[in-house]
Structure 1
Amino acid sequence: MKPYVRLCGALLLSGGAVLAVARPAAAQTCGCATYRVVNKVVYDQVPVTTWRLEYETVMEEQQVTSLRPEWIEEQRERRYTVAKPVTETATREERYVVRRPVYETEYREESYDKVSYVTETQTRQERYLVQRPVVETQMREQQYTVRRAVQETVMQDQAVTAYQPVTSYHTQYVDQGQFVTALQPTTPVVRNRLWCVPGGYQVDPATGQTAYYRGGLRWVPTQGPTVLRPVTTYMPNVVAQQVATTSYQPVTMTQQVPVTVNRLVDEVVTQQVPVTVQRMETTEEVREVP
């Protein structure tokens, strides 16, 4: 027997994948239109773990031969017509009154005293001593010490550190687990839905008394259908592996190494050095002093 739902509007069943659409059927005794449930498939958005390729850009240096344009400067003569303005000057005669000052020169006599000086020059002889520098070059012996480098080869003991490879093994635990997707049922949600309820006696939950209720539309708590949802979980798988590790141990060895030693030897060198000597020579001169 098909379930009938008496609703005055469209009824939507939540809970995932079932959508109920009410369609009118034959009228019942309650005085409302009768509807029946039509199942439709509704798709929900579910997070799914997938794998994708990730591309990485690697820069590789290559020699590329390219052509580039070379610009050459070239001069060309181009003639074009330009309209230039021509300015013409026209003159006209205008008359206006100008007041010009007139200067007159008058002479008058003034007397004043003027003193004139007469300059006479007399000279006398004056004798004075002048010291003039005289430069002479003399040869002088000069001794100086020169440090000359002498190279000697000496055998010297030198400690050399060499590294020898040593391989050791240790256990390493690696997780080789994977993701597993399983269908898990979800608990249906209880919601109040509008149902057409026939008349009868019912107990009032607030007062606890039995009363008669007429038939009609009422909100009735209804549990939705159970929906299976895919759930992805990670299943660990720990595997023990033997990993080889190579280390280098230092070993100290002594060997004879030729070493070049530089030492300085003092040597006295004598040479003739020209020395410039300057002396002052006194001379007497005569000059005319005004």
Structure 2
Amino acid sequence: MKFNRLIIFLFALPLFSQAQISGNPIFPGWYADPEAQIFDKTYWIYPTYSAKYKEQVFMDAFSSKDLITWTKHEKIIDTSAIKWANKAMWAPSITKKDGKYYLFFGANDIQNDNEIGGIGVAVADKPEGPYKDHLGKPLVDKFYNKAQPIDQFVFKDKDNQYYLIYGGWSHCNIAKLNNDFTGFIPYSDGTTFKEITPEGYVEGSFMFIRNGKYYFMWSEGGWTGPDYSVAYAMADSPLGPFKRIGKILKQDPEVATGAGHHSVIHDAKDLWYIVYHRRPIGEKDGNHRVTCIDEMSFDKDGLINPVKITKEGVKKNKL
């Protein structure tokens, strides 16, 4: 009897230890372009449902109290709620303002100013939705400064001014959102969309502030290839200028390829995490991407240390 108990105990040990780390990917399914947020002591991740454009017509969300166990919230938004969208909903960015949750997204993958689509906004009373169209039309539906209206990120500055940072096709714009997110506030020089494109920029913008410095991050390379990666720059203003410093996230041929299009979490314990997608080793389908999380850190000068992508992920962390 004692021997049987010992066997049961030994088999249970790996299960116990595994529960203390997230593992990568952190939840099953093909998901990409994850935006991570903290709402009311809960971690949230809003990814792209990674499929062919004609099938990529909805979004799921995931929530967790500890970075280990994730709850799936299915179809928080789909094209039935966004009448002008008919395909390729992707790269969500979310923010909370005045008790409402605003979900920014790209749709239709427009290729010129004559097509219908671009960046939209949806709103809900809860982080899990359901989300409804905020405007009934795209917020950005044209190519300003040659930037394709995709890969949007909503950034809240220290003075509570919200910005929309976005852009594909190797161009990135920043614009000041108005108070109810129905449009934009022109800059003092009369322009609305300012280009802040750094060297090497392709898509996937993200920005945060640390110790008074603005860190601007983006993805480089082709999203279907193994060399997709993340680089960054720093400045004293959200408007830059941003001079490229270097890559901090890239493939590891022994772990995964195509590591990119990320977001960053910073919690009250001063822990930093990078949430991103990558492609499993040997996977050839461009849409087969999974969502992962790893630790992110800084050196004594405030530069971001290169991130080691892992199979283990991160340790359990309750907010």
For Structure 1 versus Structure 2, the TM-score category normalised by the shorter chain is under 0.3
Instruction: Return the structure number with greater helix share.
Output: 2
Q: With the length of structure 1 as denominator, give the TM-score of the two structures.
A: 0.17
Give the number of the structure with larger relative contact order, counting CA–CA contacts within 8 Å between residues 6 or more apart.
1
Structure 1 or 2: larger strand share? 1
* Rg larger in structure: 1
